[in-house]
Structure 1
């Protein structure tokens, strides 16, 4: 008579179990019962119980439970009393926790036991159910038996809310084999025959043992030169042994590393977490290299060791050490899996090496074609952690992360040097740091120049006609140079491409783009730039130039008509006068400091059609530039120098200024 709150105990099972755990537990108990009998010719039979309506596709009903039969020693009084004892120590030598049977009640409503055992010179039958109240064993019956052989039949049925994930016998048997592979490959203890079949139809019986040991087996052990490694836990060396297997016709296309405790798989994690090149299946050609008869396979590395046996959890779903860094024990799950992954890699070394080579070529191609500013950095960092087939985003994020880490390290080193009181070390450290800073700066410059090439390509494209034979509006090309309705209060200082117009504009302290300077209904320029004050005269008078731009749509020339109210030359003159008269302030409310000697520069960007050329020559008295792609004039009374240049000249001049940089980078 036991006194255990069985329901609460079952409800508290949390760690690492799943719907297959009860079945695995029953098969292991059956194998142990056969080992205890030590009579040879052991047999474990698994029958699949089904219920519900058959699926129209596979014509199979859902799995409702299992019956596991064995010809082992049976439920003797000692075994019966052990079953009725929570945390029994009867199987402690085999790694028994005295708890596994309760996982049956976590996933199934009913657990029934029928067993024949030897009692003296005769046999007896024992049957009972697992209870859900205070008693573990209920409805127990013991009677004399006419049987001539011992054995046990355990039924788990009435699956709970969790639906069994698989239906086909082949799939279920494959999962059980993977979970219990250490039993099937144990060289010191032969595994009994284990078969599986439908409870209603014994004709389609499958042997789990046939997954191994034959020419056509789906699981084959691979040779490894050294399958042993050691790790240190609290100054004590712990030894682990790894066995690597090929799994042909993989159920899921993932190679894995499994940690084993007492011949049972406890955890299995993708090998690609440690070595990304395990991310895809492998392929093995058929005899004589026949591709048509080849087979796909994945790798599974099983890790054994006393450290794993000693630290497995009660439910056998996890270990008592940490997944990552383990300060208490010194050895983490990640440490073990990393070492095992390296041994697994040695078993398929040539294919892994080829996959790694392809990844390196992919990274090199990205850096060369799309991110040349990373060339120096890419030659120095490790890309091992990247996926087997990294995307451009994967590569760029990795590079940016490493760049940031390097910059942080350099800043820390600079701070340490500045605080150092040892002059003899300064010279060498400063030299090293300057090399690091120079590399970072060089990479940033390459990035910046590459982005300029992209901007100029977009700018060139914007000047072309579209599919309807029309040119883009001035707004479209305007936005490439600088966003409309924005000023320097709204944009970062470098969030524009004013260098296309004039390199000096990169250093402007205030910019207004297509936006009234101080009120909604005032005149507005396309771009007005106020340079940073770099010198003052006498009584704090500004000396830096103010630059004004006007954009006109490509091929548009109606502004040169006599009746036009959009004369860009006259507009710029008017803006200059209004600024001189103090009619405008910056968005922050500050005065625009000008005087009689403040220089102004005006630029009109448009296409120089015949009408525009005539207009500039006869009406505006502009002088043509030597290249014929622009016109200029000096307005002495306004201290204003103005140019009217073509879109083509704007693009060509910008390309010419940057050509040497593009050439050096091979852009």
Structure 2
């Protein structure tokens, strides 16, 4: 279709040169579609293939000046109209034949110029002739393009609607102006005025609206909605003056959508047709722009964009709601980004409506990065200039920076709190009963939530465990073994006294000593943050039992209290070593132990605990605790429900302190998969 577009454009220019002021009223262009039956068709009613087009106008004609430019390659004649002077070459690239007949005036006489434009250096203007015409004959040009070259014949449109839509979409800025042009498409005897087709294609037509630019100036805007296939220019404001479109300003980025959703008609494109005396009076001599004098065009454009947004509000409401929901979800699940957005409402209102989650994260992360860099630059500047500041000025700067740093740290803490919430939800899921088997998850699956199995601190990172579920103090210990044999990390010192050997032998005979035992969790070394002076740091032992286990025989192998006591006895008078052989700590009679049993409550378990003098109830009433004086060990039984409840309460305290209670709703929206 490009050769046809070129012929229509030339026809339009010729009409505007003949009728500079009244071209929209007096000009006429017709586009005839040439069809023929396929050679192998026997059906009289079969489809007629398109063989070419005839474009006719009543313009100034191909006079001597224009024909001179026609013979030049890459002429600058119409450069002001973005013409490059090579479009006519598409005629002979796509079609085998391009025949031109044009009537023009020469010295007061009408002359008809006729030739065939060919792809030939020797005879590009074949069968050239000139003939005088009666003065009553009107000027104008007819361009007949026919016989597609083989490379294009199979690609040519056949459906009349496709031809109409292609012409309408290509010249959308031409048709989108106040006057209805006389551009007719004639196809198989049916005449379609393309300008009327444009206006008839408008969805839910409206009347022009007056928009105040300032106290003295106003504009008129006609809101137009078209099916997307008719408006490839996208959402735009088209500024018109003197019955023609002058400037087209894309606004898709401003409204944030490339197309407007419509339930029944599919995607729509918005076009605002802007006109009025303000633009007629300000049209420049070249008719390519406006000279508003003391009025800034950006102010004019902003006022009209805002008017367009108001008109489009029903279409934008749902994307805006999705945007706000997407932003809230991002900040709820990633509070770290909150410090980058000072005004959530304002940021949401300014978000482009075609953003997806990835684009949103990129923008917010970039804002946080820039804010952090700016903050560091402020700190560096304060350090560099502190000597020249008064104490009061320096204190004021420090207070301001401290507030900014505080906001950033709160966001980081909120992120940590949210992630903890998801871990709590995961533990809830892991200890549910599988309804298909009526069984709980096995112990190792639950254990994995707290800490990976069979590892030590040498092979896991600090963030790989969730021991804070049991007690927040455990999160800061620096050496952890998980489900590893005692002999893999604890060894005897160089010499072991005879009394120790004798005691171990007696305990082993009772099943109360064994270096092959594997505590679920053994935790050593002082906390990474704080240590009380002149005190020994407790060693911590955690024993898990499956959520499905509620019966115990009481035998040494099925008694969790005896199991934990055995671990303690097996660690006494030994040194603990890291994977690289570095000594962690020495354990002796003075070493305090913290022992946690995590299990489901049951009558048998409570009885076992009572038999070992572990019967004092915890404040919630379901747990039990005691001090085992002979082992210098604090022992506490915590039911799984209580682990979850305590962890949630501690976490929610952070939520309340950080004023992010709303984040809790997000963490409950979507259940985690097993």
Q: Aligned equivalents of 1:98 and 1:570: distance in 2?
A: 97
| 1:473 Cα offset (Å) | 1.7
> Unaligned stretches of 5+ in structure 1?
1-19, 229-240, 284-291, 313-334
For residues 302-381 of structure 1, what are the structure 2 equivalents within 5 Å? 340=301, 343-349=304-310, 351-352=312-313, 355=316, 359=320, 363=324, 367=328, 370=332, 373=335, 378=341, 380=343
For residues 94-243 of structure 1, what are the structure 2 equivalents within 5 Å? 96-104=83-91, 108-110=94-96, 112-118=98-104, 121=109, 123-131=111-119, 134=121, 137-142=124-129, 144=131, 150=139, 151-155=141-145, 157-158=148-149, 160=151, 168-184=159-175, 193-198=182-187, 201-202=188-189, 204-211=190-197, 222-223=208-209, 225=211
Match of 1:318 in 2: none
Match of 2:269 in 1: 298
Match of 2:498 in 1: none
State yes or no: 1:413 paired with 2:378: yes
State yes or no: 1:69 paired with 2:56: yes
For residues 494-643 of structure 1, what are the structure 2 equivalents within 5 Å? 494-515=463-484, 523-532=517-526, 543-557=536-550, 560-562=553-555, 565=557, 567-580=559-572, 582=574, 585-596=577-588, 597-618=590-611, 620-625=612-617, 629-636=622-629, 638-643=631-636
State yes or no: 1:458 paired with 2:426: yes
| 1:84 Cα offset (Å) | 1.6
- 1:589/1:217 Cα in 2 relative to 1: closer, same or farther (>3 Å)? closer
The structure having more radius of gyration, on CA atoms, is 2
DSSP-derived class of the 2:600 partner: coil
| 1:408 Cα offset (Å) | 2.5
DSSP-derived class of the 1:67 partner: strand
Q: Aligned equivalents of 1:483 and 1:309: distance in 2?
A: 76
- 1:165/1:97 Cα in 2 relative to 1: closer, same or farther (>3 Å)? same
DSSP-derived class of the 1:98 partner: coil
Match of 1:45 in 2: 30
Provide the TM-score with structure 1 as the length reference: 0.71
Q: Aligned equivalents of 2:541 and 2:208: distance in 1?
A: 76
- 1:118/1:409 Cα in 2 relative to 1: closer, same or farther (>3 Å)? closer
Residues 129-178 of structure 1, C-alpha deviations (whole Å, 9 max, x = no match): 231x6468253432648895553223163374698696644454344345
8 Å CA contact retained: 1:275, 1:341: no
DSSP-derived class of the 1:594 partner: strand
Quote the RMSD (CA, aligned, Å): 5.0
Q: Aligned equivalents of 2:318 and 2:396: distance in 1?
A: 37
Q: Aligned equivalents of 2:429 and 2:238: distance in 1?
A: 59
Match of 2:225 in 1: 247
Residues 369-398 of structure 1, C-alpha deviations (whole Å, 9 max, x = no match): 945957776552523452437666666665
Q: Aligned equivalents of 1:177 and 1:460: distance in 2?
A: 61
| 1:645 Cα offset (Å) | 2.9
DSSP-derived class of the 2:348 partner: coil
Q: Aligned equivalents of 2:117 and 2:144: distance in 1?
A: 10
Q: Aligned equivalents of 1:178 and 1:265: distance in 2?
A: 15
Q: Aligned equivalents of 2:110 and 2:287: distance in 1?
A: 40
Equivalent of 1:84 in 67, 71, 80? 71
Residues 32-88 of structure 1, C-alpha deviations (whole Å, 9 max, x = no match): 23344559854322234568799xxxx967766533223444444443332121122
Q: Aligned equivalents of 2:158 and 2:302: distance in 1?
A: 32
DSSP-derived class of the 1:592 partner: strand
Q: Aligned equivalents of 1:158 and 1:660: distance in 2?
A: 78
DSSP-derived class of the 2:351 partner: coil
Q: Aligned equivalents of 1:218 and 1:48: distance in 2?
A: 31
Residues 590-626 of structure 1, C-alpha deviations (whole Å, 9 max, x = no match): 22221423322222211232222333333x4534435
> Unaligned stretches of 5+ in structure 2?
290-295, 490-514, 665-674
| 1:559 Cα offset (Å) | 5.5
8 Å CA contact retained: 1:542, 1:595: no
497-506 or 22-31, which moves further after superposition?
22-31
Higher helix share: 2
- 1:358/1:630 Cα in 2 relative to 1: closer, same or farther (>3 Å)? same
Task: Give the count of matched residue pairs.
Answer: 590
Provide the TM-score with structure 2 as the length reference: 0.71
- 1:457/1:588 Cα in 2 relative to 1: closer, same or farther (>3 Å)? same
Q: Aligned equivalents of 1:640 and 1:74: distance in 2?
A: 108
650-659 or 23-32, which moves further after superposition?
650-659
- 1:218/1:95 Cα in 2 relative to 1: closer, same or farther (>3 Å)? farther
DSSP-derived class of the 1:550 partner: strand
